[in-house]
């Protein structure tokens, strides 16, 4: 199974920025979080923080293969695609750097061709969030980004 985590920051106006990580096994049995992309979402239309299955399918709107986030409560057609403004999203997760976008889509397509299940966990992570909740995310299972992630700081800000 392939596992991805999206850590979202607190909304800033209409935008919610975040970082998408690929989870990879480390040498000592820990799980490493490897940064895959910076993300952007529309604060008024973003999907709930939970775990979703993902599949790369043909998008009728964009006419190309794009990751589809499945089983979103009350929503359909939620995709991961390129975009630079919150208005470019009707609930989709935007990757705002072209190189990162291409790499993520190619990686997801490769994993799907290997018949791996792909999961995306979305986590609302920002200063002021319940510290016990943040500690639980880090300690179970133990996640690092090549170094221990502090419970005081978002893993994608200030490292």
The answer to whether residue 156 is domain-embedded is: no
Share of the chain above pLDDT 70, in %: 75
**Measured CA angle at 113 (ends 33, 54), to 5 deg:** 55
Picking from 37, 80, 20, 36, the residue whose alpha carbon sits closest to that of residue 55 is 80
Query: Does 81 map to a domain?
Result: yes
Whether 158 is in a domain gets the answer: no
Q: Is residue 78 part of a domain?
A: yes
Q: How many CA atoms lie within 13 A of 148 on its CB side?
A: 5
Note down the domain range covering 117. Answer: 2-144
pLDDT at 58 exceeding the cut of 50: yes
Residue 128: per-residue pLDDT: 57
Q: What is the mean pLDDT of residues 135-142?
A: 42
Residue 80: is its pLDDT beyond 90? yes
How many structural domains compose the chain?
A: 1
Whether the model clears a pTM of 0.85, i.e. scores above it, the answer is no
In this structure, is residue 153 part of a structural domain? Answer: no
Percent of the residues in the chain that have a pLDDT greater than 90, as a whole number: 45
């Amino acid at each position: 199974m392939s596992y991805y985590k999206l850590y979202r920051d607190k909304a800033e106006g209409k935008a919610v920025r975040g970082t998408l990580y690929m989870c990879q096994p480390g040498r000592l049995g820990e799980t490493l979080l490897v940064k895959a992309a910076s993300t952007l979402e529309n604060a008024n239309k973003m999907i709930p923080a939970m775990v979703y299955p993902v599949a790369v399918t043909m998008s009728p709107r964009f006419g190309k293969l794009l990751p589809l986030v499945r089983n979103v409560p009350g929503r359909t057609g939620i995709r991961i695609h390129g975009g630079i403004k919150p208005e470019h999203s009707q609930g989709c997760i935007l990757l705002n750097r072209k190189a990162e976008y291409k790499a993520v889509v190619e990686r997801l397509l490769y994993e799907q061709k290997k018949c791996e299940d792909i999961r995306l966990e979305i986590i609302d992570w920002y200063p002021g969030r319940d510290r016990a909740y943040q500690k639980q995310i880090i300690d179970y299972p133990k996640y690092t980004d090549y170094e221990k992630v502090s419970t005081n700081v978002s893993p994608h800000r200030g490292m």
